[in-house]
Structure 1
Amino acid sequence: MEKERFKFPANFLWGGATAACQMEGAYDVDGRGLSTSDIHRYNAKLDRVHYRKKLVENEHTLATLAAAVADQEGYYPKRYGNDFYHRYKEDIALLKEMGMNSFRFSIAWPRIFPRGDELKPNEKGLQFYDKVIQEVIAAGMEPIVTMFHYDIPLPLLTEYGGFKNPKLIEFMVRYATVLLDRYGSLVKYWIPFNQTNLIQYCSFKSLGILRDQTKNLTEDQYIAIHHQFLIDAQIKAYAKKINPAIKIGIMLADCTYYPMTCRPEDIVFTMKRNRMQYFYADVPLRGKYPGFMLRYFKENDIHVEITEADKILLKENTLDFLAFSYYYSRTLDSQKNTMNPASISENPYLKANAWGWTIDPLGMYNAISQYWDRYQKPIMIAENGFGYEDIFTDGTVHDDYRIDYLRQHIQAVAEALQDGVKVLAYLPWGPIDLVSSGTAEMSKRYGFIYVDQDDLGHGSKNRYRKDSFYWYQKVIASRGSDL
């Protein structure tokens, strides 16, 4: 007798995830200001496998920001995205056709507060999201909204120095309260910060730290993170007042590590590195700084002011769920790697794509399980996917490689659900092809829907269904039992 196939819960959220800075375009429309994403110039010569290292080495200064703003020759893909700003109705209709019942997207901070420090929001910017949210709900999808996804208004860097300045607590909380007041009755799930733990790669676009505005980068990074923790807690406190049904979540980029060997040194070193990543969820989900982190600050002469009022705020306003992105796993060798989170080793047992991202669905099952065991809080798979240079032919893309990748990762989610883990949602990244966050390429595609647009923005921008579109449609309709 054939074993009955597992079905996901009836209320499980099947969807997709996007970001305003990689989708919308219309960077100069209806009063929108410039953001950190708008000065990412496309560089065709960038080595894909090592692009992260190069980006870290070339983080911005006041001079490079000014040069990018003044540049009339370079192509800045995130200013144009895939034109979701003008095509959102068409795109949302395609997601509905696929059967999605949820859609994660972000609101562009500089579209609401062009400078970031204004007292009143830009009404035209809000009106755009009025229409988007109404369209999502009308399509039968649960909106899952990220408040800040790598698009800090530039004056908050050039005039205030980014999130290391406590003034940004005031500015972002003001922005968040505007969103909650406007959409708190329509949107249940909110993520204040995208991938809050990626400070090793995103000091500029996530924390707003410029290289010539810091004397101690590591210390300033942790100060900025502390300010973001306080913002999370203030947002949660406000949400409780206006609508207790609102859920506020922390989001991480999964950085769960494997030990290279069973040498005790590798095991303990990996445990310590994993704890350094759990820290970013420990504070907002458990409500206090863990002892190992306070020890790390002391031993590395890192000074983060944590007041008694801060401790009370964090303790009384823990967040509701953990969202995380998962693309690949990481491996550590205690004899070769350091405590720097960017220091990793290659796993000889795994294959990788052209960007050096390993394919490891068991790694996602491991990550989900570790997070659930640690926090016992609902989990969202906020991003997952396979970036690839698709070949468009005969009006479609035959992307069996993407189907195979996603199938195995959905199976990993199913295993976790059967263990009793409360997984709320599976939201694969970029259901409609969009601009890459790391390299600003269009050719690194994740979508079920192909966009006719190249790395320089050329093309009709018309949308075409890939083979994976129909596959995911079938998966959703069968509640994950037909993979």
Structure 2
Amino acid sequence: MNKIKNNFLWGGAIAANQAEGSFNSDNKGLSTADIQPYLPNARPTELHFNDLDREHFNEYKNGNYHYPKRSGVHFFERYKEYIDKLAEMHIETLRLSIAWTRIFPNGDEEEPNEKGLIYYDHLFEYMKEKGIEPIVTISHYEMPLHLVEKYNGWSERKTITFFAKYSEIVLRRYQKLVKYWIVMNQINLFDREGFASLGIIDEKDGKYQRQQYIALHNQFVASAKVKKIAKGINPKLKIGVMLADNLTVPYSCDPKDVNASFEYNRMQYFFSDVLLRGYYPQYALNYFKDNGISIDITDGDKEILKENTADFLAVSYYWSHTVKGDSGDGKPVIVDNPSLKKNDWGWSINANGLYICMSNYWDRYRVPMMIAENGLGFNDELTVDQKVHDDYRIDYHKQHIEAMIRAIKDGADIFAYCSWAPFDIVSAGTAEMKKRYGFIYVNYDDEGNGNGALIPKDSFYWYRDVIDSNGSMIN
């Protein structure tokens, strides 16, 4: 027996900024995602939209680029077609996000945008009609651009107030339609998705790292406030913290590598330690002191963090990491594991890493968990007879679901598995379409051309069988 519960949720995950498009419809404001350009000559492994300085911010905001996330895959106007296709695959849940700028176009308005609220009324109601449970992320790399320019994003404490107001509006509005809420997407990726996550412009004045940790602290406090608000609205609502798994193994048995991995991992646990345990651990305070980082953590902050810990842990897992300890500057270095195969974007394939990380998180926290994202991008080939034969994707997901089942057998309380993404969407890091994750081929190219046809891949039928068997066909 695979020990997966009968009420387990099989599904997928998307983000509004990568799927919806219609960036200026129904009074929507500009978000950080709307100024991410597609750079066709960028290296496949390059994340060119991470830490933006003023020059690049102005260039991207005002430049003459193709901005794929402004059109996405037209989910905004075609959501019924997409939801129908997911229902045909027997998907049971879809994790998706609300675009902050549809509800508060600038982020600091007094009143929300009713047209944006009505859109999500219709979307969530249609999902429920089709038997698909929404799991909603409140902030998924789509901060109002106005908050970036006026307040420098999350580095300004006022942003906590703006976000809490936005969160209360959507929690109250959709409390009968949405049970599970993730406050912030991959809160620990503030150093790898700096601009998208924190909305801070690097002014090259030597203050950027400290600003990042101040912004992160403000996100911690905001997350706790959202939990408090949710409890006041409806105690049945479940509020989650989400991590991108960055846990490492040592590159070798050299003590320097072993110690580097240990110290690196502890600072990865830091984020969930704060939001699941309710306080800043001493090792993190020591890290701040050793690196000259000062954060104003008030007594009120400590109280709200302690009293409003998250209900569940959501984890995204794609690939694993190894660490070398001797980088020349005293800092650990992430290096490729030579034992693993990689895709065209340099992401290694290691299903056992999913088993290890979910087991470690369970052993540490003992809270319900979900796999919020799992997948790998491939450059799929659409045949002349409109087929995609993606055995490589089936193999990837089969291995990772097997790993999840192993963790469940060991006692881990995992209640959902969400593939990233169930249909092709614009890439988060590189803003391209050819990096495809879906079980459904969406016929748009990197320039947004195509008829938008939704074409089931071979993996579509395989995943439907997995869902129908509640995972038992995997064993």
Pair in the same fold by TM > 0.5: yes
The alignment status of 1:182 with 2:178, answered yes or no, reads no
The alignment status of 1:30 with 2:22, answered yes or no, reads no
Alpha-carbon spacing, 1:276–1:110, altered in 2? closer, same or farther (3 Å): same
- CA shift digits 1:385-425 (9 cap, x unpaired): 02000000111200000000000000001001111100011
For 1:33 and 1:212, the matched residues in 2 are separated by 24
Match of 1:70 among 62, 65, 76: 62
Asked if structure 1 preserves the Cα contact closer than 8 Å seen for 2:49 and 2:195, the reply is no
Q: 1:264 Cα deviation (Å)?
A: 2.7
2:371 alignment counterpart: 381
The alignment status of 1:371 with 2:371, answered yes or no, reads no
| SS of 1:41 mapped into structure 2 | coil
Q: Quote the sequence identity (%).
A: 49
Alpha-carbon spacing, 1:370–1:149, altered in 2? closer, same or farther (3 Å): same
1:314 alignment counterpart: 305
Asked if structure 1 preserves the Cα contact closer than 8 Å seen for 2:93 and 2:135, the reply is yes
After TM superposition, what 4+ stretches of structure 1 lie above 6 angstroms from structure 2? none
For 2:371 and 2:14, the matched residues in 1 are separated by 13
Alpha-carbon spacing, 1:63–1:31, altered in 2? closer, same or farther (3 Å): farther
Which AA in structure 2 matches 1:26?
A: S
Segments of 5+ residues of structure 2 without an aligned counterpart are: none
1:434 alignment counterpart: 425
Asked if structure 1 preserves the Cα contact closer than 8 Å seen for 2:36 and 2:49, the reply is no
Alpha-carbon spacing, 1:102–1:74, altered in 2? closer, same or farther (3 Å): same
Which deviates more from structure 2 when the two are superposed, residues 261-270 or residues 103-112? Answer: 261-270
Asked if structure 1 preserves the Cα contact closer than 8 Å seen for 2:245 and 2:357, the reply is yes
Q: Which structure 2 residues correspond to residues 29-178 of structure 1 after superposition, within 5 A?
A: 29-49=25-45, 51-52=46-47, 54-56=48-50, 59-71=51-63, 73-178=64-169
| SS of 1:15 mapped into structure 2 | strand
TM-score for both structures, normalised by structure 1: 0.96
Match of 1:470 among 461, 464, 467: 461
- CA shift digits 1:425-480 (9 cap, x unpaired): 10000111000000001000000000110000000111110000000000000111
Q: 1:340 Cα deviation (Å)?
A: 5.8
Which AA in structure 2 matches 1:481?
A: S
Please report the RMSD computed on the Cα atoms of aligned residues, expressed in angstroms. Answer: 1.4
Match of 1:445 among 412, 436, 440: 436
Q: 1:6 Cα deviation (Å)?
A: 2.4
Segments of 5+ residues of structure 1 without an aligned counterpart are: none
Q: Which structure 2 residues correspond to residues 317-332 of structure 1 after superposition, within 5 A?
A: 317-332=308-323
Alpha-carbon spacing, 1:337–1:55, altered in 2? closer, same or farther (3 Å): farther
Match of 1:284 among 266, 275, 284: 275
Q: How many residues align?
A: 473
Q: 1:55 Cα deviation (Å)?
A: 4.2
For 1:280 and 1:355, the matched residues in 2 are separated by 27
Asked if structure 2 preserves the Cα contact closer than 8 Å seen for 1:214 and 1:220, the reply is no
Which AA in structure 2 matches 1:148?
A: S
Match of 1:197 among 169, 188, 208: 188
Q: 1:262 Cα deviation (Å)?
A: 2.1
Asked if structure 1 preserves the Cα contact closer than 8 Å seen for 2:3 and 2:408, the reply is no
| SS of 1:212 mapped into structure 2 | coil
Alpha-carbon spacing, 1:258–1:459, altered in 2? closer, same or farther (3 Å): same
| SS of 1:16 mapped into structure 2 | strand
| SS of 2:241 mapped into structure 1 | strand
- CA shift digits 1:259-295 (9 cap, x unpaired): 1122333222211100101101100000000000001
| SS of 1:314 mapped into structure 2 | helix
